Amino acid sequence: MPQTTRRHHWCQLDVDQLCEQLRTSIICQPDMWPGDIDDMTAMYESELAAMLDRLIPFREVVLS
C-alpha cells in the first residue's frame, strides 16, 4: 500500500541563500542567545527548521 511522507528537496537548496540567512539570524548573534543550554538547543533547531522551510519547503512524496 502506498505511503505518503513529507521531505525537503535537498538538491534545490541554495547554499548561498542559506549562508546569508544564517549570517542575519539569531544563530550568529551570541549576545541574543539564551543562557540555558536546552533553550539554546531549541532555538537552534527552531531557527534552522524555519530557514529550511523557507528555502526548500516540504514536498509530499508517495512511496510505493
Domain spans of the chain, in order of start: 3-63
Residues sharing a CB contact under 8 Å with residue 58, sequence separation 6 or more, in sequence order: 6, 7, 8
CA-CA-CA-CA torsion sign (7, 55, 19, 47): negative
Each residue's pLDDT tens digit, 6-31? 998 999 999 999 999 999 999 999 99
Task: Output the pTM of the full model.
Answer: 0.76
Mean pLDDT computed over every residue of the chain: 94
The Cα 49–Cα 55 span in angstroms is 10
Q: Could you tell me if 6 and 59 are in contact, meaning their C-beta atoms sit under 8 angstroms apart?
A: yes
pLDDT in the model for residue 32: 93
